[in-house]
Structure 1
Amino acid sequence: MKNKLDYTSPEVQYSFDVNKSHLFVKDDQNLINILGIQQLNSLENVSLLDIFLSKNNVVEPHYHQNAAELVYCISGAAVVSIMNAFTNQILNFPITKGQVANVPQGWWHYEVATEDDTHLLAIFDADTPEVILGSDILKFTPANVMAHTYCLDEQEWKNTISPIQPSTYIGPYKGCENNGNPVSPYYHQKGTYYARQFSGYPYYY
């Protein structure tokens, strides 16, 4: 959608310091800055997230309901993992400096840093990168609905998800017992990257 601005107005903005626009900060090595139309009013069909990660940190599983995403690696290295919405296959794409991975609109995905000082730029074809986070789905879906739908014990489900914080954005949490045991998110077979499986479930680190 075209941005209907009066480009003769002195209120039109043409530049912005993304470093001053924090979406989420875990610590000084793991943070996400945002640029959208709320920050720069002359934007049209583009926005971005400026992502900094240290090794084994994860941009949590999520999807963007309003935009496709192109993930560009500025420095370091990461694995961009995508669930193909047509096959339900988890596809894993390792990227390093100068490489990209493309995430179609609405596809479930996550990014794992495989080196310290990883810097990613996520570019969207919308003026605001809307998002639905895995942590919010898990935390805000009523426990009785999850239990009934998936034949779970409701109290066990509540206990299991109790450590989850809404809008996690970057995991794992500080002090997480799994921090010292990161697991590779992919293995290589016949030229394609597949999700490593544990007890039948994809492992997200």
Structure 2
Amino acid sequence: MTEHNMDYTNPNLHYSYDMEQSRFFTKNQHNYVNVLGKEQMQTMGNVFLLDVFLSSGNIVEPHYHLNASELIYCITGETIVSMINPSTNELNNIRIQPQQVVTIPQGWWHYFAANKDNTHVLTIYDISELNTVWGSDVLRLTPPQVFAHTYCLDKEQIQQALQPIRDTVIIGPPADCNQRRGSYSNKQAYYQPYYHPSVPYYYTSQMQPPYNQP
């Protein structure tokens, strides 16, 4: 969207930016996120970008965006994108490779995992300032007794299970994670290509219409 109130005669305006200069989150040298919004470049208009780098088995934790829809574009590697359709309560898992994209409607619970090393994806949002609710924050900031009472669970077990989550995770699992407690199989849990006859969430530049067919 064009910024109609932007003074383009201002000599201090910038029209290019190096996203390596704006780190949003770092797990380690192979797993990190760079950010580009109006704070970094005023002239970019009504769009927001996250540049995500992942190694195999790492996952951008479950979350949703309050104010934006999302487009996930795979640059290198391979990504499994998962989202829950709130209209059907279905969990949809979509594998994308370079030059393929997935769209996430506004407010949908979703996450994505790297299926290969050196996975690089760009996430694009139709808003200039992004509001995100992270799953780790929901878990760590909700009192355990609320979960226990609401779902008829054991409070002590919930406290023990959630105790390690002390900060916003963003990219999991933690480096010191005991994988026996939180292991998963990409093939069993994450790889389930999703095609719907009327709602094509998935697109690749190599496909021809109809886009939603395997």
Shorter-normalised TM range: 0.7 to 0.9
Alignment of 1:160-175 (within 5 A): 160-175=161-176
Q: In the aligned structure 2, how far is the partner of 1:114 from the partner of 1:26?
A: 17
Change (3 A) 1:132 1:181: closer
Aligned twin of 1:89: 90
AA aligned to 2:106 is: Q
Alignment of 1:102-121 (within 5 A): 102-121=103-122
TM-score by length of 1: 0.87
| 1:139 maps onto 2:133 in alignment | no
Aligned twin of 2:56: 55
Specify every segment of 5 or more residues in structure 1 that has no aligned partner in the other structure, as ranges.
Answer: 193-205
| SS of equivalent to 2:44 | coil
| SS of equivalent to 1:132 | strand
Q: In the aligned structure 1, how far is the partner of 2:52 from the partner of 2:72?
A: 10
* Higher percent of residues as strand: 1
Change (3 A) 1:181 1:140: closer
Aligned twin of 2:9: 8
Q: Which moved more, 1:39-48 or 1:74-83?
A: 39-48
| SS of equivalent to 1:82 | strand
Q: In the aligned structure 1, how far is the partner of 2:33 from the partner of 2:174?
A: 15
| SS of equivalent to 1:61 | strand
AA aligned to 1:159 is: Q
Q: Does the CA-based 8 Å contact 1:85-1:107 persist in structure 2?
A: yes
Q: In the aligned structure 2, how far is the partner of 1:167 from the partner of 1:35?
A: 20
| SS of equivalent to 2:179 | coil
Q: Deviations for 1:54-82, whole angstroms, at most 9, x for unmatched residues?
A: 00100000001111000000000010001
1:144 deviation in Å?
2.2
| SS of equivalent to 2:34 | strand
Aligned twin of 1:35: 36
Change (3 A) 1:53 1:44: same
Match of 1:186 among 190, 195, 198: 190
* Percent identity between the two aligned chains: 44
AA aligned to 2:133 is: I
Please, what is the CA RMSD of the aligned residues? Answer: 2.0
Change (3 A) 1:190 1:47: closer
Q: Does the CA-based 8 Å contact 2:95-2:193 persist in structure 1?
A: no
AA aligned to 2:142 is: T
Q: Which moved more, 1:147-156 or 1:181-190?
A: 181-190
AA aligned to 2:122 is: L
